[in-house]
């Protein structure tokens, strides 16, 4: 297995990129002039074909007889950059997509020119197979100055794709802007004369009142204090982050997250002492009826339903919950408030990683310039570039219309209905830049008028989303806990990680449901360490030392 890039190497790399960006501005200008001259001669850019493998699910909607290969976005890409996007294959789900790529890899069949992955184990296999490209040279040569500047600002994002000083993929960025707030029934607070909780003790008083003082006034003891999903563990479920118990553990240690200890070494959150305190609280809350008794079998969407249906007083989760699963049928008054401090006295929640999805490129792919030109253009929304062709939206007549020269986002005014054109891109979504979205949404949440096209575009989102962003912005920097292990699975992780996680989840659930005493946490920690945890910790720290040299 190839070795990952060290911090010392990164310093040289980032410095080199910065210098190249400065020099590249002049070169890029000359290149653009040459390209423009060539286009004037030929009338259109040189055509290239880029083959893709992708997910085309039920949420991909089309109109005007369009398809995933022939639509308003693919036609734009061909006209603008000469790119013909060809679908090698398409599947309906993310699971089927990963399975397809794994089969192509093991059977040595042709890979698509460009594809995305968010499966570290499969990515590791891709790199070891020798069938994906080292993109370092192409990035230096073709990435735009603003893309280089972004990656230089967050160099640690490369850890997920770097071995032996080479980059075998291109990480994309998450918005890192929507986690997390406490959604609470304001009408219940007002009825019972309560204030939003700031501490765990405050929260217990509120939950007790929500459960025992009939806040919905139906004369039946049928309300829940806090909606929570424990089916996949006590920590944030990394594909939704809804209805978890992250906040309870505070900032010192989030279960399943690796953090840097006072000794400068990585430590696994789930085996830290404060987690025992958090589990004791969850056990107490379950016993007192503050939580849904079925929380252990409910996924995050099911758990959130009790809040949506008016049976629960609180739910923890992202700002975007204002759009889903919340909806217009919720006729009661609820609001986003800051999360309470956890058992360690500090605010904390497990944040989404800086990168969840990476682009990979077939070793034989020859059109990296076209790819980077296209990437810079579709990242315009992520940069909130007012000169972007997508400043108003992805396509006029699809996700917006112009009325008197101004963009309007009301679906009822769009001929043929609203269509989510960003799903037609090779990424299938917006490519974000960290916290940019939060800045705009928080501005709107503070009641400031939208000014730029992007701000007007975001103003079509639910107002409570914007309100939640304004709340989150006040503490996100102090509360966000990032998983500090961002490399590919270590040898022992690959061999024993799944079994250790299963043991962890089962032990924690038994403690929460009172089937085992809280002190069984201590024996779990000892068993975890002896069953491979110590080896994993050693390997994780070897990686951590390499990338921080």
List the Cα angle 103/104/106 in 5-degree steps. 65
Report pTM.
0.82
- For CA atoms 388, 117, 361, 78, the dihedral sign is negative
* Tokens 């369009």, located at residue: 66
Task: Per-residue pLDDT tens, the chain, 549 aa: give them.
Answer: 454 444 434 434 443 443 344 334 444 444 444 434 344 445 678 999 999 999 999 999 999 999 999 999 999 999 999 999 999 999 999 999 999 999 999 999 999 999 999 988 899 899 999 999 999 999 999 999 999 999 999 998 998 898 888 999 999 998 888 889 999 999 999 999 999 999 999 999 999 999 999 999 999 999 999 999 999 999 866 667 899 999 999 999 999 999 999 999 999 999 999 999 999 999 999 999 999 999 999 999 999 999 999 999 999 999 999 999 999 899 999 999 999 999 999 999 999 888 889 999 999 999 999 999 999 999 999 999 999 999 999 999 999 999 999 899 889 999 999 999 999 999 999 999 999 999 999 999 999 999 988 898 889 899 999 999 999 999 999 999 999 998 888 999 999 999 999 999 999 999 999 999 999 999 999 999 999 999 999 999 999 988 776
Residue 96 to residue 103: CA distance in whole angstroms: 10
Task: Convert 334-361 into a string of H (helix), E (strand) and C (coil).
Answer: EEEECCCCCCCCCCCEECCCCCCCEEEE
Per-residue pLDDT tens for 213-256? Answer: 999 999 999 999 999 999 999 986 666 789 999 999 999 999 99
Q: Shortest CA distance to 431 belongs to which of 470, 373, 376? A: 376
CA distances for 186 relative to 183, 197, 333, 461, 510, angstroms: 9, 12, 6, 21, 33
* Predicted pLDDT at 39: 44
- For CA atoms 244, 303, 285, 332, the dihedral sign is positive
CA distances for 293 relative to 114, 209, 393, angstroms: 46, 18, 44
Q: Which residues pair with 337 in a beta bridge?
A: 182
Residues 6+ apart with CB under 8 A from 336: 181, 182, 183, 184, 319, 322, 464, 467, 468, 471, 472
* Predicted pLDDT at 26: 40
Strand 358-361 relative to strand 170-171: parallel, antiparallel, unpaired? antiparallel
Residue 312 to residue 300: CA distance in whole angstroms: 14
Residue 278 to residue 260: CA distance in whole angstroms: 20
Give yes or no for a contact between 289 and 534, defined as CB atoms under 8 angstroms apart.
Answer: no
CA 376 to chain centre: 20
Give yes or no for a contact between 203 and 277, defined as CB atoms under 8 angstroms apart.
Answer: no
Q: Shortest CA distance to 135 belongs to which of 418, 310, 363? A: 363
Strands (E), 222-297: 258-260, 266-268
* Predicted pLDDT at 238: 62
| 450-489 exposure pattern, b = at least 16 Cβ within 10 A, e = fewer | beebbbbbbbebbebbbbbbbbbbeebeebbbbbbbbbbb
Strand 480-481 relative to strand 349-350: parallel, antiparallel, unpaired? parallel
Supply the DSSP symbol for 404.
Answer: T
Per-residue pLDDT tens for 493-502? Answer: 999 999 999 9
Residue 516 to residue 519: CA distance in whole angstroms: 8
* Predicted pLDDT at 33: 40
User: Exposure of 415 by Cβ count < 10 A (0-12 exposed, 13-18 middle, 19+ buried)?
Assistant: exposed
Give yes or no for a contact between 295 and 307, defined as CB atoms under 8 angstroms apart.
Answer: no
Query: Can you list the domains of the chain with their CATH numbers?
Result: 7-174+359-383 (3.40.190.10), 181-350+482-547 (3.40.190.10)
Give yes or no for a contact between 115 and 342, defined as CB atoms under 8 angstroms apart.
Answer: no
Q: Shortest CA distance to 504 belongs to which of 270, 153, 342? A: 270
* Predicted pLDDT at 417: 93
* Two structure tokens written together for 383: 């940069």
Per DSSP, helices labelled H in 58-144 are 72-81, 94-107, 120-129, 136-142
């Amino acid at each position: 297995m190839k070795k990952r890039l060290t911090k010392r190497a990164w310093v040289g790399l980032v410095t080199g990129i910065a210098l190249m960006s400065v020099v590249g501005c002049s070169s890029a200008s000359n290149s653009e002039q040459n390209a423009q001259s060539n286009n004037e001669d030929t009338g259109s850019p040189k055509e290239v074909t880029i083959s893709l493998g992708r997910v085309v699910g039920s949420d991909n909607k089309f109109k005007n007889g369009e398809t995933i290969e022939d639509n308003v976005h693919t036609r734009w890409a061909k006209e603008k950059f000469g790119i013909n996007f060809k679908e090698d294959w398409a599947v309906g789900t993310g699971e089927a997509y990963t399975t397809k790529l794994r089969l192509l890899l093991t059977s040595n069949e042709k890979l698509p020119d460009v594809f995305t992955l968010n499966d570290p184990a499969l990515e590791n296999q891709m790199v070891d197979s020798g069938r994906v490209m080292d993109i370092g040279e192409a990035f230096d040569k073709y990435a735009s100055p603003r893309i280089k500047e972004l990656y230089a600002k967050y160099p640690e994002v490369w850890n997920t794709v770097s071995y032996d000083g080479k980059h075998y993929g291109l990480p994309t960025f998450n918005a890192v802007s929507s986690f997390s707030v406490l959604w609470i029934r304001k009408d219940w607070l007002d009825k019972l004369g309560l204030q939003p909780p700031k501490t765990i003790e405050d929260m217990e008083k509120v939950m007790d009142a929500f459960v025992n003082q009939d806040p919905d006034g139906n004369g039946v003891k049928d309300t829940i204090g806090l909606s929570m999903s424990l089916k996949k563990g006590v920590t944030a479920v990394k594909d939704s982050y809804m209805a978890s118990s992250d906040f309870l553990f505070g900032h010192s240690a989030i279960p399943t997250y690796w953090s840097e200890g006072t000794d400068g070494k990585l430590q696994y959150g789930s085996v830290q002492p404060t987690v025992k305190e958090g589990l004791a609280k969850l056990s107490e809350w379950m016993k007192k009826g503050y939580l849904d008794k079925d929380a252990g079998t409910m996924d995050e969407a099911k758990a959130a339903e009790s809040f949506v249906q008016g049976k629960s007083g609180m739910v923890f989760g992202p700002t975007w919950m204002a759009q889903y699963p919340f909806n217009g049928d919720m006729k009661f008054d609820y609001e986003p408030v800051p999360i309470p401090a956890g058992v360690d006295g500090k605010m904390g929640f497990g944040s989404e990683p800086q990168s969840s999805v990476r682009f990979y490129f077939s070793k034989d792919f020859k059109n990296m310039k076209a790819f980077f030109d296209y990437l810079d253009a579709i990242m315009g929304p992520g940069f909130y570039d007012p000169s972007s062709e997508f400043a108003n939206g992805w396509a006029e007549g699809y996700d917006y219309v112009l009325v008197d020269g101004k963009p309007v986002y009301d679906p009822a005014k769009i001929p043929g209905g609203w269509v989510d054109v960003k799903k037609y891109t090779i990424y299938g979504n917006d490519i974000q830049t960290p916290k940019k979205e939060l800045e705009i949404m928080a501005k709107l949440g503070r009641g400031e008028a939208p000014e730029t096209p992007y701000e007007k575009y975001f103003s079509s989102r639910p107002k409570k989303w914007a309100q939640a962003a304004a709340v989150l912005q006040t503490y996100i920097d102090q509360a966000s806990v990032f998983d500090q292990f961002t490399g590919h699975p270590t040898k022992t992780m690959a061999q024993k990680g799944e079994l250790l996680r299963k043991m962890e989840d089962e032990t924690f659930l038994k403690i929460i449901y009172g089937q085992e005493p809280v002190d069984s946490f201590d024996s779990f920690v000892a068993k975890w360490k002896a069953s491979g945890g110590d080896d994993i910790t050693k390997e994780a720290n070897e990686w951590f030392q390499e990338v921080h040299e």
